[in-house]
Structure 1
């Protein structure tokens, strides 16, 4: 069975399960929390399989186009081929090179030269060998070359909801960047004969980006690191852990960080006070529609570019909106099934809390023009490792990597986040919809 056929079969099986859940939801049955989580997971898996199928089909087409019959060549039936035309398709998962560097360093006990030797003997690519052979370890670990770091940054796009919604990535030269913006434009009007033209000046303001240090800790089982040779599945697992941890850390700060000399300011605190609107409590469909329309109106009334607008919210909120029905039993927002809400696509993130407010059950909805959101980054990554360090898990409990037989990989990057025109952010606060789901 070809790879394409196998992947299509896997996708069909996942789609059957997803359609069963969709039919159950359409019939008015309440989906459990586990079923909602399964539905989201199936969507992600189907999307990843579709991307893999597209790459596999492209590889098959290129392979067929480059094929030469064994008994024929450009110079005749019996002559040798005039020249080899080879097309190479890299099917390695995004960030695999960085993952290989990380696990080779960990397997070598932090000895960079030993790691380079292991890479050479294990059949790794020359880029991996050269990275481990020539880069001098710094105080914060091994510096990843710019070409490898760029692949990780690009691979972060589907993992970070802010990046995936279209935030613009910019290089930080020497760790700093200033983008001017027009705060107040000139006044233009019609005048009468022999009437003085009023003189007005533009008022400018600056959006300043300054590199801020971001770190992510990724615990990896030593059983995985025991595979010294090339193993795409292990590379994929390590790369996914690195990317997911980094993406979650970015979203946490790009969405709700209050900002400081050390932390980037998130969307919640870039929003103007007049663009923060409380959600209606126990609303009907009319009130909900007015509330969502009001968030959109705040950008439109400020003459925002509206070039790449979208919604951000916690999964709880979108599932509650998806369950709403009108008086005839029809879905109030059927476009949610296509990934849109009121004509604009939405992104989901668990980094938007659902435990805000005095009752601990409030959340937020964001409507943002992401073409006005900028991520400045130096384009450098550094990696360090430890087998003895301890870390805090999601519950705040201290975990010993040594006791768990894990290797703790630390990833350090430098970036910042900013909004060029603050009028491009509207926030719906005190959203209790779906509490108790």
Structure 2
């Protein structure tokens, strides 16, 4: 205590002398005098900025993790040698425990302040700062999976897990495995050039024998690219008011009372439905620290979810916990080709547009979607006998002047009459009237037992979604298109 007082007094005296001297000379004198006076007090000199250095929560959590590992090593060494702790080991252990307890208090204060900052920013509709965005990009799905696998989740991944638990609690849900909050899912992973030969540029993270990771052949994701409205980070059930009837105007006499007209409203209700996707990784793959492996795991988990959500948005059954997709939404427009289906003509493509237009819904982000096989039919089917034009031009991605998308996510196994399980769907509409809603982030559950004999880990990813069409009149569909 006395040494501390001497230090503070000495440094303060040095700067006071500089102040008395005044001017530029005084500033120089003070800067020189402070460390000299501190040396006189027999303690290291320091600058005023030392106590103001900003320590991130991530760094504090990493420091905590290291303290725990150091303490575990002390006890593990003694247990391995079947002895009690030595006097020095007890002293070291107690010192680290005291440091850990003090650090835990700092972490709690830091967490509280950062949570208040995030809440205030969210309430004001502000974006995260560059520093916070950079920290989010340091999140590792591989470390999170390894942490649950070994029961030692720590560092930034532990902090994000705790944040995810709070998000889930606000939505009335529970996290079964490792939680990933919405902020991580919303952050974009930046592409970085890594040099194997330079340690600071990635040399420490690139595996020597890592071979190229072969991506799976996956369907194109349609609804988001076509303009579906994505709502993320929701909390609890959500009701969206909908105006389903307009007021009317009446011609009245000069002295007559105006007729009272009332608009009518209903609502779209959105509530979370659990979507469970699973994939498998070898333990050797998860042991890698390569940036390439991290990106592979991120993209694999993300794609597994997106494929399921995309398919549900197009043709979800609407039964049980499965949301209803566009094709299963009541009261959308319908265009039929024939009793037993048939090959679509240019006239039928125009009929889809007409069905939407007839309901005063021809507005917004309009476009067609269908299957890749149907795209081939469009490119080979002539509009008429004489013009030489086709329903879809060879170098175009448009149908009837509107943007068109194609994916195997659109069903090709529908039935109409004798055309059993061979009919394809064609949908036209305002895709901005399709709502895809997401609650919280992800819940990653690691199962090391099912595939244990193959040294493979099963990773189950739980997420929560709902899908709704704002106005059924905004869409029309053909459900009986055949290839021939």
| Shorter-normalised TM range | 0.5 to 0.7
CA contact (8 A) 1:160 1:250 kept: no
CA contact (8 A) 2:345 2:381 kept: no
CA contact (8 A) 2:235 2:440 kept: no
CA contact (8 A) 1:322 1:331 kept: no
SS of 1:338 mapped into structure 2: coil
* 1:272-351 map, 5 Å: 272=331, 275-280=333-338, 281-283=341-343, 288-304=345-361, 306-325=363-382, 327=385, 330-335=388-393, 337-351=395-409
Q: How far did 1:340 drift?
A: 1.7
TM-score by length of 1: 0.63
CA contact (8 A) 2:445 2:461 kept: yes
Q: How far did 1:253 drift?
A: 1.4
Q: How far did 1:328 drift?
A: 6.1
CA deviation digits over 1:411-434, x for unaligned, max 9? 111121111111111111111126
* 1:72-221 map, 5 Å: 100-101=140-141, 103-108=142-147, 110-113=149-152, 115-116=153-154, 127-128=156-157, 130-131=159-160, 139-151=175-187, 160-171=221-232, 173-221=234-282
Q: How far did 1:259 drift?
A: 1.2
1:253 to 312, 316, 330: 312
Q: 1:268 maps to what in 2?
A: 327
Q: 1:383 maps to what in 2?
A: 444
Q: How far did 1:207 drift?
A: 0.9
CA deviation digits over 1:263-311, x for unaligned, max 9? 21111122416x122235555xxx7121111111111111115110112
Q: How far did 1:148 drift?
A: 0.6
Q: 2:192 maps to what in 1?
A: none
CA deviation digits over 1:192-221, x for unaligned, max 9? 444443322111111111111111112223
Larger Rg: 2
CA contact (8 A) 2:232 2:439 kept: yes
Give the Cα separation in 2 of the matches to 1:134 and 1:424: 38
Cα RMSD, aligned residues only: 3.4
Question: Would the alpha carbon gap of residues 403 and 291 (structure 1) be closer, same or farther in structure 2, given more than 3 Å must change?
Answer: farther
Question: Would the alpha carbon gap of residues 403 and 360 (structure 1) be closer, same or farther in structure 2, given more than 3 Å must change?
Answer: farther
Give the Cα separation in 1 of the matches to 2:357 and 2:462: 39
CA deviation digits over 1:354-373, x for unaligned, max 9? 12215221121111211211
CA contact (8 A) 2:334 2:477 kept: yes
CA contact (8 A) 2:233 2:441 kept: no
TM-score by length of 2: 0.57
Q: 2:474 maps to what in 1?
A: 424
CA contact (8 A) 1:214 1:413 kept: yes
Give the Cα separation in 2 of the matches to 1:336 and 1:188: 49
Give the Cα separation in 2 of the matches to 1:433 and 1:387: 46
Highest relative contact order (Cα 8 Å, sep 6+), 1 or 2?
1
CA deviation digits over 1:137-159, x for unaligned, max 9? 96511111332122379xxxx96
Equivalent pairs counted in the alignment come to 311
Give the Cα separation in 2 of the matches to 1:423 and 1:340: 22
CA deviation digits over 1:100-158, x for unaligned, max 9? 32x23444562342x54xxx7xxxxxx457547987796511111332122379xxxx9
CA deviation digits over 1:220-266, x for unaligned, max 9? 23342231x2x222122212211221111102211112214522111
CA contact (8 A) 1:96 1:236 kept: no
Question: Would the alpha carbon gap of residues 336 and 404 (structure 1) be closer, same or farther in structure 2, given more than 3 Å must change?
Answer: farther
